[in-house]
Amino acid sequence: TSNALLGPVQIRDLAGRLGVRPTKTLGQNFVHDAGTVRKIVRSAGIEAGQHVVEVGPGLGSLTFGLLEAGVTVVAVEIDPVLAAQLPLTVADRAPEWSDRLTVVLQDALTVTELPGPAPTALVANLPYNVAVPVLLTFLERFDSLDRVLVMVQAEVADRLAAPPGNRTYGIPSVKAAWYASARRTSTIGRNVFWPVPNVDSALVLLERRDHPVTRATRERVFEVVDAAFAQRRKMLRGALAELAGSAAAAQQALEAAGVDPTTRGEQLTVDDFARIAEALDDQVA
């Protein structure tokens, strides 16, 4: 451990000097507790020497924790003031860590390439309003990521980790399951943030797994998922009627996929969705 991690005094001081006024639209809530940062890093299960990507480093709270753990970090930040300051903060507090940090000023949703060796882990305290899209985008674009540890709103954590049949099971659960198995590991109280958000957060660990074996494309499977949950209360044969061309065609595809046409999307696994997508494609062909 070191003394470089940012506490309440450093966060306040940095924000003051930069004139940072945290915005809700960018989900700017900064962690000012070194214990929480170290817990996130520990939960990520990373090892020194690994290449890690961080989304939204902000003032650097988590970045310092990652650097302390001996990894190399590429940090993608959308806010130009924060992105410009971060290397300076590291140079100031822990110059010996500077050469392990690269900051990229960009919207994480538009990132298609990252500098340096392929990252094997994503560790981030995600901006709340884009947490799920950022997570799915990174899993899709960077095959090399085999572990993801993110801090998100507790409710979103539940959704990501929910199994079929669960009250919170929905589109994020199925799509995340396409790439990984997700598990909520701990709850983080709102008081470790400045400004204090009005919800608690939780950590989610996603471990990459092979996606379902299917002839259907991922896009097609996700299209079926979106359709099934767009009309959540409908039976599947109704919810998929438009996509299939008619309720009868939907019924037939569901039967071909071995799925009860009267069930609802919330009961199905990602593998079920993959089989349905395949059956729909077979009808067209």
Write out the residues near ligand SAM by the rule CB under 6 A. Answer: 26-31, 55-58, 61-62, 76-79, 82, 107-109, 125, 127, 130
Which residue, 197 or 261, is less far from ligand SAM as judged by CB? 197
Q: Which long-range contacts (CB under 8 A, 24 or more apart) does 131-138 make?
A: 131/27, 131/156, 132/156, 132/160, 132/172, 133/109, 134/55, 134/108, 134/109, 135/160, 135/176, 135/206, 136/172, 136/175, 136/176, 136/179, 137/108, 137/109, 137/111, 138/53, 138/55, 138/108, 138/111
Instruction: Establish whether 31 is an annotated binding residue.
Output: yes
Give 26 or 247: the residue with its C-beta nearer to ligand SAM: 26
What's the sign of the alpha-carbon dihedral 275, 276, 281, 283? positive
User: Was 107 annotated as part of a binding site?
Assistant: yes
What is the smallest separation between the CB atom of 87 and ligand SAM, expressed in angstroms? 15
Nearer to ligand SAM, 23 or 181 (CB): 23
Q: How far is the CB of 70 from ligand SAM (least distance, A)?
A: 19
Q: How far is the CB of 168 from ligand SAM (least distance, A)?
A: 22
Output DSSP code: residue 164.
T
129 annotated among ligand-binding-site residues: no
Cβ distance to ligand SAM smaller for residue 26 or 230 = 26
- Minimum CB–partner distance for residue 254 and ligand SAM (Å): 37
For residue 199, give Cα distances in angstroms to 49, 139, 192.
34, 26, 12
Residue 77 in marked binding region? yes
Q: How near is the Cβ of 30 to ligand SAM at its closest, in Å? A: 4
d(CA 278, CA 274): 6
Query: Least distance from C-beta 29 to ligand SAM, angstroms?
Result: 5
How many other C-beta atoms are found inside a 10 Å radius of the C-beta of residue 184? 18
Question: Residue 266 annotated as binding?
Answer: no
Q: How far is the CB of 81 from ligand SAM (least distance, A)?
A: 9
Measured from the CB atom, the residue of 138 and 179 that comes closer to ligand SAM is 138
Nearer to ligand SAM, 137 or 269 (CB): 137
DSSP state at residue 258:
T
DSSP state of 128: G
Which pair of structure tokens corresponds to residue 226?
């979106």
Helices (H), the chain: 8-18, 34-44, 61-68, 80-93, 131-141, 154-161, 171-179, 218-230, 236-239, 241-244, 247-256, 270-284
Was 73 annotated as part of a binding site? no
CA distance 239 to 231: 6
- Whether residue 102 contacts residue 69, with contact meaning beta carbons closer than 8 Å, is answered with no
Tell me the β-bridge partners of 180: 208
Report the residue number, 73 or 228, with the smaller CB distance to ligand SAM.
Answer: 73
Q: Which residues are annotated as a binding site?
A: 29, 31, 56, 77, 107, 125
Q: Which residues are annotated binding-site positions for S-adenosyl-L-methionine? A: 29, 31, 56, 77, 107, 125
